[in-house]
């Protein structure tokens, strides 16, 4: 009933309906309020289900620092997933192809994350030793999703003539890789596009998951990154604005601003309960789909490189784990960092949890601002 009323009202506001950025702001406010209202009830249910966190690290000093987090309910990402789903269904144009692919990405990775969390959190009660999905199992589902997304985007672009301008030529939008400081972009083939889709979506999903280790860290950084991409997506979706900024225009992609707005509002609402000391954690249920949808939006708008700049925190978090593991094996047991991901390195170096989180937020904000500034430097 509410969805019907909201959409009926929206259709009557012709100018507002034609403006995706306006609807994205409405979706952000809607999701923020929805998470605030639903938060206490969801947290109580998670507590009753005994889905409390069990922080265990291969590092005794870090275990001591994180001991107070034991028992805090996780799988709170279900709040974010359902808020984003509701916000998109209410405020987005549901005839838009890219919206449905975005929702597929959200639900697919949310389900994978929920299964992983459930296996980890109930292992002790089931008398088993399995600690969630194995890495190769996660990667299988993430890569499978990425290939599906790539194939559908390619097929849609071919059938509906989704073209973009490179110089004076019109080429399929999916074939353009937009680069900072370079106005022409690079034309890609279908195979290269698919490979990039797999790498970007999988890496971003796992990088956000790795960032989710301190109260408010992942939610705050995702909110900042999503705000920047909400503006970028609106620009790419507008033929006139994209032409002025020398960005590839991808017809229909502007509607993804609504998904970005929904994520922004949901993350800000979640921060209400996730800020230090956290009452709930998002777990893989929230972090995997958040990263995956961000990667998907970057793919559709041809801003994969821009995602690396805007989401620099996620890039560093992901690389810190890869470097730590690689150096450990190469050196025969030595560590490059005190602990990985890198936020734990600083935490063990004397930064308090709040200092670490706020400083990472500040860096994320500066990176987002610098990335947006490069749009005019071409």
Contact predicate 291/209, CB 8 Å:
yes
pLDDT higher than 80, residue 318: yes
CA–CA gap between residue 264 and residue 227 (Å, rounded): 6
Query: Which value, to the nearest 10 degrees, does the dihedral of the CA atoms of residues 235, 240, 244, 247 take?
Result: 50
Provide the token pair at 37.
């209202």
Instruction: At 183, give phi and psi (nearest 5°).
Output: -75, -20
Map out the domains of the chain as residue ranges. Answer: 20-124+131-376
Residues contacting residue 333 through CB under 8 Å, at least 6 positions apart: none
Query: In the prediction, which pLDDT does 125 show?
Result: 55
Tell me how far CA of residue 150 lies from CA of 53, 101, 187, in angstroms.
35, 10, 16
- Asked which of 158-167, 175-184, 218-227, 244-253 is least confident by mean pLDDT, the reply is 158-167
Is the peptide bond between 138 and the residue preceding it cis, with omega within 30 degrees of 0? Answer: no
Query: In the prediction, which pLDDT does 339 show?
Result: 86
Selection from 224, 220, 212 nearest residue 321 by Cα = 212
CA–CA gap between residue 326 and residue 303 (Å, rounded): 29
Task: Give the helix ranges, DSSP H, for 167-311.
Answer: 190-211, 217-237, 239-245, 256-274, 283-300, 304-310
> Mean pLDDT across the stretch 40-48?
92
Q: Which residue has the tokens 């004076």?
A: 168
Q: What is the pLDDT of residues 94-150, one digit of tens each?
A: 999 999 999 999 999 999 999 999 888 876 555 555 577 888 899 999 999 999 999
Q: What is the pLDDT of residues 258-295, one digit of tens each?
A: 999 999 999 999 999 999 899 999 999 999 999 999 99
Query: In the prediction, which pLDDT does 188 show?
Result: 82
Contact predicate 306/230, CB 8 Å:
no
Q: What is the pLDDT of residues 207-250, one digit of tens each?
A: 999 999 899 999 999 999 999 999 999 999 888 888 888 888 88
CA–CA gap between residue 121 and residue 92 (Å, rounded): 35
Selection from 323, 321, 324 nearest residue 335 by Cα = 324
> Mean pLDDT across the stretch 192-216?
94
- Asked which of 21-25, 42-46, 117-121, 230-234 is least confident by mean pLDDT, the reply is 117-121
pTM, two decimal places: 0.91
> Mean pLDDT across the stretch 297-306?
93
Within 10 Å of residue 339's Cβ, how many Cβ atoms?
Answer: 22
């Amino acid at each position: 009933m509410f969805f019907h009323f909201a959409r009926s009202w929206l259709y009557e506001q012709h100018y507002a309906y034609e403006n995706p950025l306006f609807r994205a702001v409405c979706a952000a406010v809607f999701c923020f309020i929805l998470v605030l209202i639903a938060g206490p009830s969801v947290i109580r249910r998670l507590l009753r289900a005994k889905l409390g966190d069990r922080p265990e690290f291969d590092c005794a000093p870090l275990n001591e620092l994180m001991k107070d987090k034991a028992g805090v309910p996780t799988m709170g990402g279900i709040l974010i997933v359902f808020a984003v789903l509701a916000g998109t269904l209410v405020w987005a144009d549901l005839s838009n192809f890219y919206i449905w692919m975005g929702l597929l990405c959200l639900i697919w990775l949310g389900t994978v994350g929920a299964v992983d969390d459930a296996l980890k959190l109930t292992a002790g009660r089931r008398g088993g030793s399995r600690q969630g999905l194995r890495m190769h199992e996660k990667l299988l589902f993430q890569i499978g999703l990425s290939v599906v997304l790539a194939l559908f985007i390619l097929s849609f672009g071919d059938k509906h003539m989704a073209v973009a301008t490179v110089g004076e030529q019109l080429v399929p939008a999916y074939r353009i890789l937009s680069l900072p400081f370079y106005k022409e972009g690079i034309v890609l083939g279908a195979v290269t596009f698919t490979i990039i889709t797999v790498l970007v979506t999988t890496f971003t999903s796992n990088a956000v998951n790795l960032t989710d280790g301190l109260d408010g860290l992942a939610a705050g950084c995702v909110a900042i990154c999503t705000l920047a991409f909400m503006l970028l997506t609106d620009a790419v979706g507008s033929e006139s604005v994209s032409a002025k900024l020398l960005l590839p225009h991808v017809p229909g992609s502007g509607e993804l601003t609504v998904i970005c707005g929904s994520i922004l509002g949901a993350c800000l609402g979640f921060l209400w309960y996730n800020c230090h000391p956290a009452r709930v954690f998002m777990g893989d249920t929230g972090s995997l789909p958040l990263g995956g949808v961000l990667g998907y939006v970057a793919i559709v708008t041809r801003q994969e490189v821009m995602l690396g700049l805007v989401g620099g925190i996620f890039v560093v978090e992901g690389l810190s784990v890869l470097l730590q593991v690689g150096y450990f094996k190469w050196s025969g047991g030595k560590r490059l960092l005190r602990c990985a991901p890198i936020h734990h390195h600083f935490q063990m170096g004397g930064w308090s949890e709040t200092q670490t989180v706020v400083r990472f937020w500040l860096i994320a904000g500066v990176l987002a601002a610098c990335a947006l500034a490069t749009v005019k430097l071409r």
